[in-house]
Amino acid sequence: MKPIITATELSEIFHQENLVILDARTGKDARENYLQNHIKGARFIDLDKDLAEIGEDAAFGGRHPLPKISKFAETLQNLGISEDSHLVVYDTSNGANAAARCWWMLKSFGIEKVQVLSGGFKTAEKTGIPLKSGEEIFEKTSFILKENWSWPTSTLEEVEKEITENSATVIDVRDAYRYRGESEPIDLVAGHIPGAINIPFSENLDENGEFLSPEILKEKYQQFLADASPQLNMTKKLIIHCGSGVTACHTILALDYAGFVTLSTDRKSADEVLEVPNLYVGSWSEWSRREGKEIAKGV
């Protein structure tokens, strides 16, 4: 199953019995906005409460650390999700915020049928997909508890080691002006991790805010990585990060959609297919706050 679904494709399966739609919009009024208007049947999932377990100090874990997998299992049960559910996730930022992070967590939890709605809520609205206000009613489910996230992550120390040893390509997906250190609208310090290259996640989208085709995405990333990281063919490893481990998932999603990586435990040996990228969850929000870590600016 491809990881991206269009609004037209969603409308075709809208009455499918095992379909579960998740509304992952963000912002201080996210839940209130959801209650005012959402895709009919969609269940609200909160970035800060359900998709992260925010600690006291972002210098250790970043602004959006992953929750314990047992806590996430409880969230899925409360949302009425089962292992055979067909999940479609959307947000109001073309999948760039919590929808892609939710997709990453669901897949890493072990749920197979998960897709992100290209273009998000606005595209669904334009397409004429039924909308609704108020709460949705559904029954809780149960899950077999998983021990660990199945997809790889990297710690700050591991990222630093990989860069020092030149054994991985580290990609910063934030906007170019943030990477260059010209200004920083969210975190405390501007700049980037020394040795990281910049491929903004916005490069995954067209002028309408929808995902580029798999063919175009694959060509773009092949060129990006060939230009920025000649050693890639030797390392076969990518580490993706952003500000707090959320939009980084957008790029992992795009790489999967492009067929550029294999997100299966059954690794392929073909030269053009990379292993599933590591997500550096702490990202810039952790690195920039950690005492003694070098900060680079410019290109």
The H or E element that residue 107 is part of is helix 98-109
Q: How far apart are CA 101 and CA 60, in angstroms?
A: 19
To 5 degrees, how large is the angle CA 147–CA 44–CA 26?
95
**128 exposure class (CB count in 10 Å sphere: 0-12, 13-18, 19+):** exposed
DSSP state, residue 211: B
Q: How far apart are CA 244 and CA 64, in angstroms?
A: 5
Question: What order do you get walking across the sheet with 86-90 strand by strand?
Answer: 4-5, 114-117, 86-90, 19-23, 43-44
- List, by residue number, the catalytic residues: 242
SS3 255: helix
